[in-house]
Structure 1
């Protein structure tokens, strides 16, 4: 009778444990619940080779799969540093669901301190999605991230910062399309849960969804996966404030997705939401002497900068940023 009771107890415990969390396999390796596993995925083309470092956190409780990429551009350091912190701070034993964390997507650019492009083939990884398994090294990197990370995710975040020449104000953004209202809604909720001061809407026309995504996070949106971009950091500087802000935002997102318990009291935040963006291009080339700082609100006719041929660049748009 005692043996039967022990058998029954073990069987019940095993059944409950199995129901608690579905199995998860990565790179043909089963990831045990409550564990963290490190991978280096090789990427090899006809002329070049590199690898993509990935960490898998598999929780002990059921939950969604969150994909996270850092270092799509290797000169954008705060997201890369934030990924290193997340790698140390996330406890899989306290996690519900699974996290796929790409610590540095573009290792060649990181090692070469190369802004924007992969020095091995001169291509921009964030213009190469969904990738090509038989293409150049960057196209193959995009293909692996698409198939091994994005395609396996229920939610997705791509973390960026201002590259070498980009003096950016920190913000996050979500994708929105009338063709995907539910996915858009979830993306908005994700972005606002991260409590950035500024959030931008990336509006995607329905016809754009039928074309190659090009961008990492947009590839997730094309696959009907709610996705958010982070842009936190400037000029390729590895700032601690920006790094800490990204980490804070990611933990707030994990709490929003019910993947962790932060024991955080609900606080009403009202970020500035920018619903429309503009790009102003100069008709001339040369050194750019700016007259405005990156946080300055502009009025129509404001002087932005002067080029060495004394051509003044003014803000002549009929509308300012349209804010929600």
Structure 2
């Protein structure tokens, strides 16, 4: 079988390319090749760059945009991107893949959860960005202008940040006025091979209005009519190899589903998926120390005890009870807790 595949690959390589060169950042990426870019970003006060890999296939096809490291402390998607450098073969690719290896390099280098320490902003709350703003605004603007607007499909990969005990899942955007794009996104989310799929229902959401900020990276793509999915895989700033591999294999399977792998057309699909339409968010009413008695992935019933918050002398200030039935998607997994912050998200299955 391996010999047959090699013969087929050589045959394809020796044929005249039907894919045109792809131009990115005013540079040519020739058919059957990949090229790395270090995109400088500056707001005159601070300077950074975005590492991006562009894969140009040997046949015409769609363009898939992928972002990792929008939050630089979310490591598994970033490491999966490093693996995809080798596992996406442009000589067996139909179309183009634009892979943003680390969108928020300032956060990554500074080991900074949630925000870019260069300006204190959360990159996933400023889209579509601003070419005249601070460095985080300009990063968002570059991604929109040079990745999202060039994409036919879009994927944003995340994980649980430093304090977040998060269970793995995929998600897709849905809107009743974008049915074709919503349906395509659903199938893309299934092809990522996660057991649980969250539906981001955007009907009535303010960020879908033309003149309002979309805030989120993948929401900006969907707002522009691009089928869009998310990955959430990893937690607490850790780097388990099995989760890195899960992200990598899921993305490669999605490439097959999109018809972008001309060697292998076989797409894996799970027998069953659990879809989550609604989520319940619970916030702390107190500052203090959080002692959870549950973890991500646990099923809970309304009224079930989730944990306690004490003051800094061990006195209980608040007992947390589940406000709905469902599965814990995310729970704070480190001791510090601040009044008003989300400490628990329950998905209603």
TM-score, normalised relative to structure 1: 0.91
Aligned-partner SS, 1:251:
helix
Q: 2: CA distance between counterparts of 1:267 and 1:317?
A: 30
Q: 1:295 maps to which residue?
A: 297
Q: 2:271 maps to which residue?
A: 269
Question: In terms of Rg, which structure is larger?
Answer: 1
* Cα-to-partner distance string for 1:145-174 (whole Å, 9 max, x where unaligned): 110111100000011110000000000100
Cα deviation for residue 130 of structure 1 reads 0.3
Cα deviation for residue 202 of structure 1 reads 0.6
Q: 1:194 maps to which residue?
A: 192
> Cα gap change, 1:118/1:304 in structure 2, threshold over 3 Å: closer, same or farther?
same
Cα deviation for residue 266 of structure 1 reads 5.0
Q: 2: CA distance between counterparts of 1:44 and 1:268?
A: 44
RMSD: 1.6
Aligned-partner SS, 1:288:
strand
Q: 1:171 maps to which residue?
A: 169
Q: 1:49 maps to which residue?
A: 47
Q: 1: CA distance between counterparts of 2:101 and 2:16?
A: 30
Cα deviation for residue 296 of structure 1 reads 1.0
Q: 2: CA distance between counterparts of 1:115 and 1:285?
A: 19
On the 8 A contact 1:38/1:54 being kept in 2, the answer is yes
Q: Pairwise mapping of residues 41-80 of structure 1 onto structure 2 (< 5 A)?
A: 41-80=39-78
Aligned-partner SS, 2:84:
helix
On the 8 A contact 2:301/2:324 being kept in 1, the answer is no
> Cα gap change, 1:228/1:318 in structure 2, threshold over 3 Å: closer, same or farther?
closer
Q: 1:180 maps to which residue?
A: 178
Q: 1:258 maps to which residue?
A: 259
Q: Using the TM superposition, name which of 283-292 and 219-228 deviates more.
A: 283-292
Gapped runs of 5+ residues in structure 2? 1-14, 327-345
On the 8 A contact 2:63/2:152 being kept in 1, the answer is yes
Cα deviation for residue 224 of structure 1 reads 0.5
- Aligned residue-pair number: 307
Q: 1:313 maps to which residue?
A: 320
Aligned-partner SS, 1:305:
strand
Q: 1:26 maps to which residue?
A: 24
Gapped runs of 5+ residues in structure 1? 1-15
117, 142, 155: which one aligns with 1:119: 117
Aligned-partner SS, 1:119:
coil
